[in-house]
Each structure stands twice: as structure tokens, then as C-alpha cells.
Amino acid sequence: MPHQLMGYDRAITMFSPDGRLLQVEYAKKTVRQGSTAIGMACSDGVLLVADKRIVDALIVVEAVEKIFQIDDHICATASGILSDARVLIERAQLKAQQHRVTYDTEVDTLTIVKDICDLKQVCTQSGGLRPFGVSTLIAGIDGNVPRLYETDPTGIYFQYRATAIGEGEVEVEDILRAEFKESITIDEGLKLSLRALSKVLGENFSLERIEAACVTVKDKKYRIFTPEQIERVTEKKVKKK
């Protein structure tokens, strides 16, 4: 670290001389070390695909959860410190339930995104706290329109047609920019996501470590893809470990 920045990373509320919050930047680096997750707003719904990154052969693969349901029509995934993500997801689930009880209608995706980002932002401006070391992809159907948002540790959010977070972010986004089209369907998006993850993970790629979920415009219901469904949409069989 340059001499002029030394000491400015000791507190979240202290700006460096060149206007940076170093603890927040460290949180972003944590996200880049997390397992890869991909989101797409397709023509017929929204799609999330995530790498579970199984670190121990004794782990029960089916018990590892990387994609979460927030409401019938909204789902989310994350990269970084997943314990941080769990707190945010549970907050979002509660927000969605409260909205249904209060207004007798489903919450829109942006309301959930803003609530998560409000908490993230507070943790960049309060002494004694640390930033959330996690980025999230929030996907949902508002009316008949697929929506995909990304939030980062600063509390900033952006809407995307397709994006990726985690260790393979750069490589996957290069593939998405080249091959993603707004007319893409969920099944075609799943194929594209698997090709991108296969390229990023190389020899470590296996269908056992892939989790995928979607919400369709037609029924607005959250659905997890089974391993058999994932394998059926692939262009070629992938040998399991």
C-alpha cells in the first residue's frame, strides 16, 4: 500500500486523501473471490445460475444453497461472504411478506433492491460497522416485465439485461456481451450460462456444482431446475465427478 494511504483503512468512516473508502474497496475484492453467479432477464422470464463451489468431498451437495427465493416472483443469488448474504436475503423475505400483509399485493423487485441497498449503505457510513462483503443479483417479474438488478457492497444498484458476479465475472461478462440477445429464452440462457461457467471453471466444471432457478412471465412462480433438467438443456453431456 502506498505510504500516503497507510492508516486510512483502519475505519470505515475515514476517507483517504484521494477520496476513497478503502474498507469498501476491500469488500469489493472479497466479492471477486467468491464463486461465480450469472443472471439474465430473458424474453420469457428471469434466470439465475450459480456455481456452488464444493470445497470438500464430504459435503452433501444437495444441501448447499446458492440461490434463494424471496417471494413467488422474486429470487436472488450472491457472491462473496454468503453468511452476509443470508442476513440480507432474510431481510428481503421479511420485507416481501410484510408488503403482502399490508397491501394485499406482491412487492415489486425494485422495492426489495432499494431496501437491501439502504442497509448496505448504512454500513459504509457508521463507525464500528463493516461493509457487507457480498454482491447480490436480484431477479423478478414486475407485471409482465423481467427485471434483473445487481447490488454491490457500497449500496449502489444497477439494472441489467445480463450480468455476472464473483471470481469469473470478467470472463463471463465478455461472453455475455458477445452472445446475449434480448430475445433469448430461459432454456437458451441456461445453455449460454453453462458454456460460460464451463470455460471459466475448466477441468473443475461439473453439473453437480451448478444450481439454476427461474421465474417465468407466464406463471410468475419461482422454480428450481433439477439436475436432470439442467443436463437435458446442455448441448453435450458433461461427465459428473
Quickly list DSSP for 194-214.
HHHHHHHHGGG--GGGEEEEE
pLDDT at 58: 87
CB-based burial label for 110 (10 Å; 0-12, 13-18, 19+): middle
Coil, strand or helix: which one is 136? strand
User: 188: which 3 cell numbers?
Assistant: 437458451
pLDDT at 234: 73
> According to CATH, what is the number of the domain 3-233?
3.60.20.10
Mean per-residue pLDDT for 79-91?
96
Identity of the residue numbered 240: K
pLDDT at 157: 98
pLDDT reading at 6 higher than 70: no
Among residues 50, 5, 47, 45, the alpha carbon closest in space to that of 26 is found at 5
Domain ranges of the chain: 3-233
Residue that has been written with the C-alpha cell 457508521 in this structure: 126
The answer to whether 223 touches 236, Cβ cutoff 8 Å, is no
- Per residue in 65-77, pLDDT tens? 999 999 999 999 9
Highest mean pLDDT among 5-9, 189-193, 235-239: 189-193
Mean per-residue pLDDT for 4-28?
84
Contacting residues for 71 by C-beta, under 8 A, at least 6 apart = 93, 96, 100, 106, 107, 140, 222
Contacting residues for 223 by C-beta, under 8 A, at least 6 apart = 213, 214, 215, 216
Q: What is the pTM of this model?
A: 0.92
pLDDT reading at 163 higher than 70: yes
Mean per-residue pLDDT for 212-241?
82
